[in-house]
Amino acid sequence: MRKHQVLIVGAGVGGSTAAFHMAKAGLDVMMVEKEQFPRDKVCGDGQVQGIHPLLKSMGVYDEIEKYGYKCSGTLFSDDREIQYTYNYPDGEFAFATPRYIFDDIINKAALKQGVDYLENFEATEVITRRGQAIGVRGIYDGKVVELEADLVVLANGSHSMLARQMGFYEEDPNYVFYGLRGYYENVRGLSDVIEFHYPNKLFMPAGYIWLFPLGKTKANVGVFITEEALRKSGMTSEELLWWWRDNYKIGRERMGEAREIGKLKGWRLPTGKHKAVHGSGVIAVGDAGNMIEPLYGGGLPHAMMSGVCASRMAAEAIVANDFSEEYLRKYEDYIEETLGSGYKIQEYLRSIVFDTEEHISEFIDYSIENFTDVQLSGGDGMAKFVHDVKGFVGSSKSAYSK
């Protein structure tokens, strides 16, 4: 096969967003994918309202709106089972869309831009020559195939062996989370809001039970917990879910009569991005670059935003005809510019709010006292809390702020 300017490994939201913007800018792009779309992805299925402009820029907003369930707020509860709901301002909402639908829509948007594409291509190795990445070797149609490009973009998820090969992968049990997800019918007590429950110190730091509504009695339900906290709990992620159901009033209400649809699925999620994810001839986006949030576990906004950053970097490198590690170091600046302040405040929140039951209760009590009958996003509420109560100094702008 002929050499391309850019080779993207992975056709999920990060890879497809990068491919879309690169192709739109006139770059010659090949994208390869191990699976076949539509395919599932283990996730909470939430798409925050701040990425709506990105969806519109890709021409897919109306289609997402057609399939997505609109969520008008975010509910938090603590170990006392006291609840507070942040109701978004009028006209603002998040979507909850199953990822096999959402990802397929983003994938098809990239293909419509004229990206060359191979499915069922299992990338096994980044090809290097004198320390420079020049392409990828993989298995396609039962044969070993080599694809060459000026720039390789790794976008093949949190278990990317290619990211490991390049030294990008992070292995910290306090920042590697385990996620468990299932779909359920007959979930009681749902309203049109996303739910985060922090029932016990077992989940600290930053772990929780989630519910993303997909209907009046249907939800994506899951557990998010660090590897270290899970080990200390002495339970599996699935056992923690049933423990919450059996021992907490909210858990019994939501899940006491719930019926599982399909099977529970789990995944391992490295978060926070604490190291560089570029090398000579190669950069990583999204989960492959450890860009998942270290507080909520959201990966989709970061994957899409890093895809935009990758497009910018690729265009500049091609114009300069420079794919050296030194030149691609600018990619780290673009990621920092886009995601850095969000990581900073999330690290702060992990350390002084979502680290103990008492601190989470303090946040909920503050919210009840100050924001009752106020329309405000949960992120803005937290930002006000850490500024006003905890003395946080710095930007609270997230990756998906408007």
Q: How confident is the model at residue 380 (pLDDT cuts 50, 70, 90)?
A: confident
In-domain check, residue 316: yes
The answer to whether residue 293 is domain-embedded is: yes
In a domain, 252, yes or no: no
Winning range, highest mean pLDDT, from 46-50, 146-150, 351-355, 382-386: 146-150
Across the chain, mean pLDDT equals 95
How many domains does the chain divide into? 1
Residue 338 in domain? yes
Query: Which residues form the domain of 283?
Result: 4-68+95-172+271-347
Model confidence band, residue 322 (pLDDT cutoffs 50, 70, 90) = very high
Is residue 113 included in any domain, yes or no? yes
140 within a domain of the structure (yes/no): yes
Please, which pLDDT band fits residue 286 given cuts at 50, 70 and 90?
A: very high
CATH code, 147: 3.50.50.60
For residue 401, pLDDT beyond 50: no
Residue 137 lies in a domain: yes
Residue 309 placed within a domain: yes
- HEC states along the chain? CCCEEEEEECCCHHHHHHHHHHHHCCCCEEEECCCCCCCCCCCCCEECHHHHHHHHHCCCHHHHHHHCEEECEEEEECCCCCEEEEECCCCCCEEECCHHHHHHHHHHHHHHCCCEEECCEEEEEEEEECCEEEEEEEEECCEEEEEEEEEEEECCCCCCHHHHHCCCCCCCCCCEEEEEEEEEECCCCCCCEEEEECCCHHHCCCCEEEEEECCCCCEEEEEEEEHHHHHHHCCCHHHHHHHHHHHCHHHHHHHCCCEEEEEEEEEEEEECCCCCCEECCEEECHHHHCCECCCCCCCHHHHHHHHHHHHHHHHHHHHHCCCCHHHHCHHHHHHHHHHHHHHHHHHHHHHHCCCCHHHHHHHHHHHHHHHCCCECCHHHHHHHHHHHCCCCCCCCCCCCCC
Q: What is the pLDDT of residue 392?
A: 83
